[in-house]
Structure 1
């Protein structure tokens, strides 16, 4: 597919709404939402003000909202700083052929920046290439930096033996790392993170079967840890409706996992069922403790509940604050679980990532956004 070049990127100032929760009458907090064509920030605490900086700005890098309206910008959102490249997976796209099932594409977005000698970090031009997933990476979803490339979550297809975690080097064929639970296919692997010891932690909800491109599940919806040096594969957490996003705190003493059980896509009856609001739209925190020489997850607790819709992709910054893509954009909590701010993004955010020197990238289905915050606001994953 031919690359698309957008050389008309113009950053604009980002509005900041400083919000005093105690000033609201009767303790009520007014609902807030993004305007149609810009990002805005809601500051609840001075801590969030320090993350924002004095002059935040934002821009739309790419958009399909005026053309195909295809949701090209949905998940993964992996930034490779040494190459100034961003990799994003689409939501389900209807096939243009006679294929029975929809497809998912991978976007590679090359970022061209302003002159670094001027002290600016703005992106002025992007080159967008839409790629068909390599063989094996069926219906890709989440991803994370790994060695010189990316770990992709392959949700799998209707075929037995598909799905799992694949390593995709930049200039080589993908390598399957873990593709089943001792002979039983995973449900539809969703998101992944790598700990400092090189082990791979991933979530496995059953959205693939609900969306009719995957067979019925043969496993519960669980969280796994895989050690690529020994081949050891363990279930580390269960009891979720739909385990989704996953990340570590900077010191790796805590792991955060989102449960998006409020979201089900099977049949219109579910969509009309008001009981769905009793299901989790929740971030759970676990302590990571070592027993018999390996990590276990203990002390499961509610960390936060989304203000709008549900929390999907999740990341920490170097200060220990927790960010999650939600229906209003990205909601931000401190390590105590207090909502300190919100980044309001039109159409909400499924996943996102930190870039260089305080920048963030947001996947909002038909649009890919960039936000520049204070240069000291960095993601714990890369720390750049």
Structure 2
């Protein structure tokens, strides 16, 4: 079966409701257009979804693209080399008011820096580099990003992961930094390393700080069942007014593939894209169920009123969960 809802706990019914559904509104077999990010914007006239493709070959190049989906139709390609992304507000010129943007993780290449790029939501989709190094040492291949809203974490601060996949896959130079989690404060222009000791940190989200470690899968394609395929949770504590990550604990281990993108709903349930779809855990780490799709889901995002978009490489799935389910990021 290509897609289904699989319950492991009776509480999963509270999430999927009594009549969940899965639709396949977009499929394009020529290249993997639906890989990562998944950034949803409410619109007065139409909602939009920004996604990034997986790497694919063009004549003489190896590219990624960012695609905007509107009314479930891909209508534009805006910028290349993106991976994870999040809703953002950014001033694209000196003195201008901030406007709606997507903050994308660019994994970079041998000639282009890896880092965080802001892309204007409105046409002409201006792009601006926000940051690309840790005090001059270039990032490896930044993978996922979230913007904090809580006072503990520092509202507006940018938190992101930086694994070595670019080097392992042959499109980045040898890493000059460990695999770590970083925080950037755009007001103070302050950059800090927040968590280390991770093999391949990937997805990141709040309510606590959740970080996925995909060490089970290296960029070469090699897998090792003895390595982490794990979600860690951290407390955010304040020391002298600055946030620190403390009390790292194993939140969940994935039984199928690796945990990639990760998000929470407003009730604190935790969702992660895995090798067989999206897995859902309660706030206390109990696996409630999974939205199973053939080929898995690297990432996903919430829409409105229980809507979820699953990114399945050449397919974009739309799941309808219970209407009470709302993503913690937008709360809609």
- The TM-score normalised by the length of structure 1 is 0.79
Q: Which has the higher helix share?
A: 1
1:317–1:378 contact (8 Å) kept in structure 2 = yes
Equivalent position of 2:211 in the other structure: 257
Q: Which has the larger radius of gyration?
A: 1
Equivalent position of 1:225 in the other structure: 183
Q: Residue 330 of structure 1 is aligned with which of 273, 278, 283?
A: 278
Show structure 1 runs of 4+ deviating over 4 A. none
- How far apart, in 2, do the equivalents of 1:181 and 1:247 lie? 21
Equivalent position of 1:23 in the other structure: none
Deviation at 1:130, TM superposition (A): 4.6
Equivalent position of 1:15 in the other structure: none
Deviation at 1:238, TM superposition (A): 0.4
- How far apart, in 2, do the equivalents of 1:130 and 1:280 lie? 37
Q: Residue 20 of structure 2 is aligned with which of 52, 56, 61?
A: 56
Deviation at 1:45, TM superposition (A): 2.2
Mapped pair 1:317 → 2:228: no
- How far apart, in 1, do the equivalents of 2:212 and 2:275 lie? 14
Q: Residue 298 of structure 2 is aligned with which of 327, 332, 350?
A: 350
Deviation at 1:129, TM superposition (A): 2.5
CA deviations over 1:35-63 (Å, ceiling 9, x no partner): 13xx2111222321011111111210111
Equivalent position of 2:94 in the other structure: none
Equivalent position of 1:192 in the other structure: 145
Q: CA RMSD in A?
A: 1.3
| Structure 2 SS opposite 1:335 | coil
Instruction: Report 1:4-15 matches (<5 A).
Output: none
Deviation at 1:157, TM superposition (A): 1.1
1:359–1:372 contact (8 Å) kept in structure 2 = yes
Paired residues, what number?
Answer: 313
Equivalent position of 1:78 in the other structure: 39
CA deviations over 1:198-253 (Å, ceiling 9, x no partner): 0000000010111111111010010000001110000000000000000001xxxx
- How far apart, in 2, do the equivalents of 1:181 and 1:337 lie? 33
Deviation at 1:149, TM superposition (A): 1.5
Mapped pair 1:300 → 2:264: no
- The TM-score normalised by the length of structure 2 is 0.91
* Ranges in structure 1 where 5+ consecutive residues have no aligned partner: 1-34, 112-125
Instruction: Report 1:144-163 matches (<5 A).
Output: 144-147=86-89, 148-159=100-111, 162-163=113-114
